[in-house]
Chain A
Amino acid sequence: KNEVEQSPQNLTAQEGEFITINCSYSVGISALHWLQQHPGGGIVSLFMLSSGKKKHGRLIATINIQEKHSSLHITASHPRDSAVYICAVSYSGGGADGLTFGKGTHLIIQP
């Protein structure tokens, strides 16, 4: 079964730093999702990508289909960005069949 690998598992950085979280997968997908989960909270979808690059505010997500790799970048990081960031993929049906999740990256931004 396809695995979704994320790195790093834990990341602590200072406010203002540029953050990169990586995700790799082993077989073809229909889409890759970046999700955010706050402690004790639900999950929020940040991006859904099938190719290229997307930007929303200080967040940027890229995907390289040939290399089966995606990155999530946070520019000018802020303590409120502290959360678990999860990479997930969907296979058939464009994602209607649900997601396969990576283990997440626990990000802490210190003031």
Chain B
Amino acid sequence: DAMVIQNPRYQVTQFGKPVTLSCSQTLNHNVMYWYQQKSSQAPKLLFHYYDKDFNNEADTPDNFQSRRPNTSFCFLDIRSPGLGDAAMYLCATSRARGLLYEQYFGPGTRLTVT
């Protein structure tokens, strides 16, 4: 089945140690997103790619970077994780249905920072 895959599902990293989360999709969608969801909070958009065009939200910390080497893969790099970066990271994809974009979410990666 076509889907959005995130690896790993659970990631533990040390304070300040760089970490990379990955997302892949078999849907061939041209838009990919990274959301951060902290405990008991709503997901918050970090950035998205429309094809190769990168769009960073104004309040996304500089500590967060992203790469999209091809249509299928997108990576979230956290250069120096802090305790406050512990969260569920959700990858999503979308494509146009008429004038609107329906989003498809991966299962998420839960990041713990020790």
Contact = CB atoms under 8 A, between A and B. Distances in A.
B94 A96 contact: yes
Interface of B: 31, 33, 35, 41-45, 48, 50, 55, 57, 90, 92, 94, 96-97, 99-108, 110
Interface in A33-49: 33, 35, 40-45, 48
Give chain B's interface secondary structure class: strand
A103 B100 CA distance: 23
A90 B43 contact: no
B103 A95 contact: yes
Given A31-B100, A48-B102, A98 B107 contact: no
A65 to B, nearest CB: 14
A101 B100 contact: no
Contacts of B57: 98
Given A99-B45, A103-B41, A42 B106 contact: yes
A97 B54 CA distance: 11
A50 interface: yes
